[in-house]
Amino acid sequence: MFRAMMAAILLAGLACSGALANETIRHVDAGTLRAVVERLGHENLGEAVLENGAPAIEARQPDGFSYALVGVVCEDGRCLGMMSQVEFDNDIGLTANHTNEINVRWAAVKAVLFGQSVQFSRYDIADGGTSAEALAASVDVLLSVTAVIIAAFQQADD
């Protein structure tokens, strides 16, 4: 009897944890950003609340890019979306024409030049409902496409 009861409790706990893992996210907050980084298995480098109240987190993938996740369109720390972005020194010599080409050819990311740096970003909307898994997949797309773009431009220089 005890074993059957413990098995039922364990199964109920597993069912609940699965339900929470697939929970629909309608607002992004600091916990959501943390969950995305954890789901990806990346290192959390630090968290902040921006002047406008938006949560932000800096993270790093193993042997790869550091990136930021920032809540956007926020009120009281609850945001309708998430911006993921990679920014680095423009050592590969991208020009405005290059960023225009990137924005057409690799539409999964947006490329922008800021003085001597370049930024690649993606924007995800959560207000219709999303999941931590979908947000993590979006960050993975950003990081993967950024690596492909950099490799393509470095190869063109060789």
pLDDT of residue 10: 34
pTM of the model: 0.81
Q: What percent of the chain has pLDDT over 70?
A: 84
pLDDT of residue 62: 92
Instruction: Out of 5-9, 45-49, 77-81, give the one with best mean pLDDT.
Output: 45-49
Q: Domain segments of the chain: what residues? A: 26-157
> 28 or 3: whose pLDDT is higher?
28
Chain-centre distance for alpha carbon 34: 10
For 26-157, give the CATH class: alpha beta
3-state secondary structure the chain: CHHHHHHHHHHHHHHHHHHHHCCCECCECHHHHHHHHHHHCCEEEEEEECCCCCEEEEEECCCCCEEEEEEEEEECCEEEEEEEEEEEECCCCCCHHHHHHHHHHCCCCEEEEECCEEEEEEEEECCCCECHHHHHHHHHHHHHHHHHHHHHHHHHHC
What is the chain's mean pLDDT, rounded?
Answer: 84
The stretch 120-145 carries a mean pLDDT of: 93
Kindly compute the dihedral angle of the four CA atoms of residues 86, 92, 97, 100, in this order, to the nearest 10 degrees.
Answer: -20
Model confidence at 30: pLDDT above 70: yes
